[in-house]
Structure formats: structure tokens, C-alpha cells
Chain A
């Protein structure tokens, strides 16, 4: 509770209208009810974000799980490519990598550590693990899991510093990923 209060206090100072809530046990529906997911308990959810599910335990820079749902035609805005329904899983992963690299930031020189097919919400998609350095040379790891369903592109991602945080909270992410269900 102390952690929540501290985060809420910081949020109140910095975030203006942002609101937060503790995650609870059991399935949580996505903002559009198109999916459900069991988030790690007692993490903090940015509940004012109406388009994404985004949760953290200690702060969004330290670890975060994020779930987004985008129309397939708008899946990759930076490279201006849609996620066509004929794409194979590896092609979808390839476009996701290109999208990340085209951010014009630290991700431009990202390294792909793992790129595998994966079952996500009962459908075949991909699971990527990437690493990049921030401006101070600190390594961050991210997992990006993507899948197409009924004209929408779902992305479930985990972000944490490679040092300590990534390995510690990866099992929480994997449990959430395994619970992800498409409606």
C-alpha cells in the first residue's frame, strides 16, 4: 500500500489527470472488451489510458506490461505498412522489428535476441525479445508478442532494464501472456 501511495503521490504531481488503480486477481477485460488478461496482482494500472492496458509494479521505467489493439491497416505507422491478413507470423515479426527500428531513437540499433513463433490467445503469432541501450548505456530488454485477429493487431509487451528487473519480472509477464484470451 505504501508503494501505491507513493506512486499515486508522484502521479498526482506529474501526471495531472492520470489515474491509477491496483490490479486485482482474475481476468481483466481490455478497453474494448475484445480480449481479457490476468494481470499480475497488486501492480499499478494506468486506468486513465483508455486505449491500452499498461501496468507496472515499481514504475513504468523499471518494468511495464502493455497491451495494445490496433486496426490492422494502422499496425505499423512509422513504416507505413498495414498488417495484411496474408502475412505469415515471421513476416509480422519482421514488420514489428522494422517499426521499432524506425523510431529514430535508441531502438534504431536494437539487437534481436529471440524471434520465435508463439501461440497467443489461441492464434499463431510471434514472440520477439530485443535489447537496446539507452543514452547512458544502460541495457533494456523488451519482449514483444504480436498476433492478428479479425482485422486487428494485438501487441503484448514487457519492458524492463536488463539488469535485475527483466529476469525478475519476466515470469509475471509470461503468466499474463498465457492468460491472454481473444473474445
Chain B
């Protein structure tokens, strides 16, 4: 058993006692006073530190100083008195997920960062998550104790085994979600931080609306972040109510979110395609508002998703999407390969040969040239009737 897992098990009994008492604690003070108030709390922080260490060693934390600095800067703007105590990390995982550990480490999955459309939406989520830490939600109530399976599932998503972690109910609830009351408190306090930091509060409900839309369209389970209640709807309702009369900020911070996260967004899309998550890709790229967030050849990925889905009529949709990508970006080689393969399967030898030749001329260094060459030879043989 891992060292940290053993530590978790040893501390579990004491921690469960604290949870069961449900004693309310004041929010953490900022600055140097942002520290555990009791031995019990210190132990939970130490265990959270071990989870953070495990995640860091796992290779699942994105090593991108510029992006990490960006999300950290937003967190610091929201929680200026907790600078250095709230540390934001990006996890290499595609689910729409985020969580805050009791020690102030906040983890945002790439998948959720790829969905934000501006800094205000990022700030809304960080305001919510940071409040869980500042208001010590891990210690507020025994209501937050959730099923042990959930933590294992959440960590497994990023490829980290949670053997033994299940014993720690307090740390666990920080990952799997809190009671409805505490989540609502995080909404309210996070919203206040959002407004105070000069972000556009009207973006907060939009964030949850777009996530609900995507979850609905893709047929995916709700993100783990919201796993324990009708959570997305709750978040949306709360932020909609809070922002009902909100006005745009007079002096908002400069927003470079879309440009800064363009590469991550595209990489995330590629990963979704490589995992054959075609429902998610189609849901994402069918949304007119989002299409502008991607490069002009984005329809190539839509074509890939239709091809992977393979329903009746998808051959035509696939072909149309590749053609659209080629029209928008004639030099984008993968769209020619995709179209060439579709044409090969359809028996359109001349067109297949043309597209595959174009691909091979454009993609000199591609690591899948051998396939394209094989398909090209096959199309030529078929054309000659061999």
C-alpha cells in the first residue's frame, strides 16, 4: 500500500469524528493566518498535500507555465488575500471537471478549460472552487460525506489510483462535491468575488448553460464536479438568480482567454477525436457560437466525428465536412487524407487518387504516410481494374 494511502487510513478515524460533529468553523483568514486551526484540520491538509504530490508525480499535471500562470493570476485576482495559499493546476484530462482540495490546491481539467469562452467564465468557476477552500467546506458538515466510489472514479479519470483514499471522507468530499447548501454558498460567495474582481457576472450562468447543453447533446453523464446533485441545474439557477440585474463591468480586466487557450482548445478537440468521443465533438462543433473559437479547418474534426459515428447518412456528412474544411483551408493536409479515404471506400478512384496525392504532397513529414501510400496504390490498382 502506498505511503500516502496508509496515512489516510490512519487519520481516518479522527477525521470522521470531526465531520460527524459538524461544528461550524469561520472562514479562513487571509495572508499568513490562512492555516489549519486544529490538529485535525492540519492532518487533513497534510493528506491533501499527499494527493497533490501524487498528482504532481503522476505526470498528469500539465507542464505549461504560461497557461498555469494565467489561471493562477485569475485566482489571485479573485482571492488577493490568499495569494500563495490558493494554487491552481491544470490536469491533462478531458472531462468537464474541477475540484479544490482542503489545502488550497485547485485542479482544473483541460476539458473544462477548453469549453470556457472568456476569462469571466473561468473566474466564475475559480470563485466557486476557491470558496470551498476559504470557507473550509470540508469541515462544515457531515452532509458532505459521499460515496467512496466517486473519489476513485474522479482520480481514475486522470489516471491516478485511489487505493486507500476512500477512508478519508473529508478529503473525498472536497473532490466529489458538497451538500447542496454548501455548493449554494460557494455560488454566492464566489459570485461576490467575481463582481468585486471586475469580471462580467452575466457570464457565470452562461458557463453552466453551455455545459448543460453539451452534457445533454452528448448523452454523457454529468461531470463529476457536479456529480452529487442535480448540480449543473442548481449552479445555473443560482447564478442566473444572482446575476439577474447585473450590469456589465465598467472597467473589466483585459480578456485574452480565447487567444491564450487556443492551442489547448485545439489539442483538447484532437484528443476528443482520438478517443472517438464523437458525440461530444459533434455537440461542440455544431454550436454556431463556438465555431469561431477554432481554426478555419475545424470542419475536418466534425468530419472525423461523423465518420467515427458511422450512422446512416454519416458518409455524406463526413464528405461534406471534409470538403468544407478544404474550402476554408486548402493547405490543411488531414482533410485531404480524410476525403481521400472516404472516396476510396466509395469506389471513386480518380477523386480518391487526387486527394491522397494532395495529402502526400502536403504532409511530407506525417507519420501516417505509409497508410496514405497504401491507399493510393490500392486506388490506382482498382482504377486499372487489377
Q: Which of A94-144 contact B (CB under 8 A)?
A: 94-95, 97-98, 101-102, 104-109, 112, 114-117, 124, 133, 135-137
| A51 on interface, CB distance cutoff 8 Å | no
Instruction: Say yes or no: A79-B275 contact (C-beta < 8 A), given A88-B345, A115-B367, A117-B371.
Output: yes
Whether the Cβ atoms of B156 and A135 lie closer than 8 Å is no
User: Nearest-CB distance from B262 to chain A (Å)?
Assistant: 21
User: Nearest-CB distance from B6 to chain A (Å)?
Assistant: 16
Whether the Cβ atoms of B59 and A97 lie closer than 8 Å is no
- Residues on A with C-beta less than 8 A from B341 are 88, 90-91
- Residues on B with C-beta less than 8 A from A105 are 156, 159
| A2 on interface, CB distance cutoff 8 Å | no
Among B92, B159, B307, B371, which residue has its beta carbon within 8 angstroms of that of A104? B159
Among B59, B344, B345, which residue has its beta carbon within 8 angstroms of that of A137? B59
| A33 on interface, CB distance cutoff 8 Å | no
Contact flags B184-208 to A (C-beta < 8 A → 1, else 0): 0000000000000000000000000
Give CA–CA (A106, B92) in the complex, Å.
Answer: 11
A104's nearest neighbour on chain B, judged by CB, is B156
Among B92, B275, B307, which residue has its beta carbon within 8 angstroms of that of A98? B275
Q: Which of B73-93 contact A (CB under 8 A)?
A: 92-93
Contact flags B137-165 to A (C-beta < 8 A → 1, else 0): 00000000000000000001111110000
| B310 on interface, CB distance cutoff 8 Å | yes
B2's nearest neighbour on chain A, judged by CB, is A135
- Residues on B with C-beta less than 8 A from A81 are 276, 308, 310
Give CA–CA (A25, B57) in the complex, Å.
Answer: 44
Give CA–CA (A115, B372) in the complex, Å.
Answer: 12
User: Nearest-CB distance from A82 to chain B (Å)?
Assistant: 9
Whether the Cβ atoms of B159 and A106 lie closer than 8 Å is yes
Give CA–CA (A116, B369) in the complex, Å.
Answer: 9
| B274 on interface, CB distance cutoff 8 Å | yes
Count of chain A residues near B, Cβ 8 A: 31
Whether the Cβ atoms of A135 and B160 lie closer than 8 Å is yes
B304's nearest neighbour on chain A, judged by CB, is A94
User: Nearest-CB distance from A37 to chain B (Å)?
Assistant: 24
Whether the Cβ atoms of A104 and B310 lie closer than 8 Å is no
Among B59, B156, B374, B375, which residue has its beta carbon within 8 angstroms of that of A133? B59
Q: Which of A124-183 contact B (CB under 8 A)?
A: 124, 133, 135-137
Whether the Cβ atoms of B159 and A102 lie closer than 8 Å is no
Give CA–CA (A128, B310) in the complex, Å.
Answer: 23
Instruction: Say yes or no: A84-B275 contact (C-beta < 8 A), given A90-B341, A104-B157, A115-B368.
Output: no
| B33 on interface, CB distance cutoff 8 Å | no
A82's nearest neighbour on chain B, judged by CB, is B310
User: Nearest-CB distance from B352 to chain A (Å)?
Assistant: 11
- Residues on B with C-beta less than 8 A from A102 are 275-276
B156's nearest neighbour on chain A, judged by CB, is A104
- Residues on B with C-beta less than 8 A from A117 are 370-371, 374
Give A contacts to B, CB under 8 Å.
Answer: 76, 79, 81, 84, 86, 88-91, 94-95, 97-98, 101-102, 104-109, 112, 114-117, 124, 133, 135-137
19 contacts between A and B (CB under 8 A): A79-B275, A79-B276, A86-B345, A88-B375, A89-B371, A89-B374, A90-B368, A94-B274, A104-B157, A104-B159, A105-B159, A106-B159, A108-B93, A108-B157, A108-B158, A109-B60, A109-B159, A115-B368, A136-B57
Besides A94-B276, A104-B157, A137-B59, 15 more A-B contacts (Cβ < 8 Å) are A81-B308, A88-B371, A90-B341, A90-B368, A90-B371, A94-B274, A101-B274, A108-B92, A109-B59, A109-B60, A109-B92, A124-B374, A135-B57, A135-B159, A135-B161
